[in-house]
């Protein structure tokens, strides 16, 4: 499932390719995504200029020329492909998931511009598009979500107030989008390793210094993942010819049974299922 860094990689690709372009046509081949595509979706986008492509958490946001918005969530398996009209491009995927070329099946939505088109592909159909008519509704749409790791609101005062008296473990907190937006399973394990915190530890037992480490390392891990192009797991190039290779930097994720990478530690990476999710951690240096 794409996490914040992978969605940011898609955002940058789209912003570079479609910003200031006008939508000429929208083709809906399958409206039955996680939520049905709105009946007026095609007309809503048609003849609108894309002012910019933004992102909040794991959501892509198309800013439209009439001050309305189009949200796109990639779900579990969604990918966005850019296909040129008069140019053969073998690499179309803006991300690093699934096929680097445009698949023949599961192409549900096409947004067409003068020189290229965006194709949304999603085999499992857990992604969705949503129309947002104004800024107030956009703010309301995200009101239930916590701040991003990069936001100033994600600070020591905020974390300590949330953690006080809570029995929930820290791993589940990092995955709780109401607490913090954008962190997924891979990066939660990596953040906790750098912070030296066991994923099963109750949040209420964390010291202030632990909380400071979580704030710092959340930013550090995600920024590094964005810089590395995300974690492709299946390694291939995106449409810019770059590899998503943050997985080469994993300290704990999917390294169960291997020796800890900390120089001063000879612990072994363990795998444990926490709330039906695989968690990876060092049995020695994560307390």
- Taking only the tens place, the pLDDT of each residue in 26-50 is 999 999 999 999 999 999 999 999 9
pLDDT value, residue 232:
46
* Domain ranges (residues) in the chain: 4-141, 156-282
115-120 average pLDDT score: 96
The catalytically annotated residue of 17, 55, 58, 171 is 58
Active site residue 24: no
Assigned architecture for domain 156-282: Orthogonal Bundle (1.10)
Going by C-beta distance under 8 Å and a sequence separation of 6 or more, which residues neighbour residue 279? 171, 185, 188, 189, 199, 200, 271, 272, 273
The per-residue pLDDT for range 152-195, each reduced to its tens digit, is 999 999 999 999 999 999 999 999 999 999 999 999 999 999 99
Active-site residue 38, yes or no? no
2 a catalytic residue: yes
pLDDT for 239 beyond 60: no
CATH topology of domain 4-141: N-terminal domain of MutM-like DNA repair proteins (3.20.190)
Q: Which residue has the tokens 């951690």?
A: 281
Quick one: pLDDT at residue 245?
57
3 assigned to active site = yes
Which residue is catalytic, options 3, 6, 8, 148?
A: 3
Mean pLDDT value across residues 115-142: 97
Q: Is residue 246 a contact partner of residue 223, using CB atoms and an 8 Å limit?
A: no
Which of these is catalytic: 12, 31, 166, 277? Answer: 277
| Whole-angstrom distance, CA of residue 283 vs CA of residue 74 | 34
């Amino acid at each position: 499932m794409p996490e914040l860094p992978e969605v940011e990689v898609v955002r940058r690709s789209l912003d570079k390719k479609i910003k200031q372009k006008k939508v000429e046509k929208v083709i809906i081949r399958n409206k039955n995504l996680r939520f049905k595509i709105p009946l007026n979706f095609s007309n809503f986008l048609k003849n609108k200029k894309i002012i910019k492509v933004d992102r909040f958490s794991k959501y892509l946001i198309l800013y439209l020329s009439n001050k309305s918005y189009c949200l796109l969530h990639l779900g579990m398996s969604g990918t966005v492909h850019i296909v040129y009209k008069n140019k053969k491009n073998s690499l179309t995927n803006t991300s690093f998931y699934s096929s680097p070329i445009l698949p023949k099946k599961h192409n549900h939505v096409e947004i067409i511009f003068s020189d290229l088109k965006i194709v949304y592909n999603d085999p499992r159909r857990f992604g969705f598009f949503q129309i947002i008519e104004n800024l107030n509704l956009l703010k309301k749409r995200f009101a239930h979500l916590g701040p991003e790791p990069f936001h100033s609101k994600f600070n020591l005062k905020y974390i300590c107030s949330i953690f006080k008296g809570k029995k929930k473990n820290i791993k589940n907190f990092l995955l709780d989008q109401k607490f913090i937006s954008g962190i997924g399973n891979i990066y939660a394990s990596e953040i906790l390793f750098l912070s030296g915190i066991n994923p099963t530890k109750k949040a209420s037992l964390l010291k202030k210094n632990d909380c400071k480490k979580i704030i710092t390392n959340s930013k550090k891990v995600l920024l590094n993942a964005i810089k590395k192009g995300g974690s492709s797991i299946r390694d291939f190039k995106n449409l810019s010819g770059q590899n998503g290779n943050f997985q080469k930097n994993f300290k704990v994720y999917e390294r169960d049974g291997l020796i800890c990478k900390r120089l001063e530690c000879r612990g072994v990476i363990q795998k444990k299922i926490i709330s039906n999710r695989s968690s990876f951690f060092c049995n020695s240096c994560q307390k």
